Amino acid sequence: MTVTNTWAVVQMDAYPELDGETDVVFSIHWTLTGTDGTYTGSVYGSVGVTVDPDAPFTPYADLTQAQVIGWVQSALGAEQVASYEANVATQIADQIDPPVVTPPLPWSA
């Protein structure tokens, strides 16, 4: 089974002003959606981020989704990113071959 994963940013919380900068992001809400073309699995989460004083500041209006997803994945760490992606793959596998079924009651037919 080949799963295609898509990370997306759905919301960012920001301080109106911090250290002379405006709209400084401190929390990112994200989704991870995986599909095998037929079935879909997803995970939603949020992660806090801190401003790196040694990194150049990117104004809010200039942020890209790819950049912010990089922050999310960096904040989560490679092990947690892999865990979320495995969770999505398991959701899809469980739809293909359910580990639990609920057949109709034999006397209700």
- pLDDT tens string 31-90: 999 999 999 999 999 999 998 888 889 999 999 999 999 999 999 999 999 999 999 999
Q: Look at residue 1 in the predicted model and tell me its pLDDT.
A: 76
Q: Look at residue 52 in the predicted model and tell me its pLDDT.
A: 84
Q: Look at residue 53 in the predicted model and tell me its pLDDT.
A: 82
Task: Quote the pTM value.
Answer: 0.88
Residue of 67, 85, 52, 79 whose CA lies nearest to 12: 67
Per DSSP, the three-state class of 10 is strand
Other beta carbons less than 10 A from residue 48's beta carbon: 10
pLDDT at 109 over 70: no
* Cβ neighbourhood burial of 65 (10 Å; 0-12, 13-18, 19+): exposed
User: How far is the C-alpha of 104 from the C-alpha of 97, rounded, in Å?
Assistant: 18
Beta-strand ranges (E) seen in 1-109 are 4-18, 21-35, 40-48
Q: Look at residue 5 in the predicted model and tell me its pLDDT.
A: 98
Q: Look at residue 89 in the predicted model and tell me its pLDDT.
A: 96
User: How far is the C-alpha of 55 from the C-alpha of 45, rounded, in Å?
Assistant: 25
| End-to-end Cα separation, the chain, in angstroms | 35
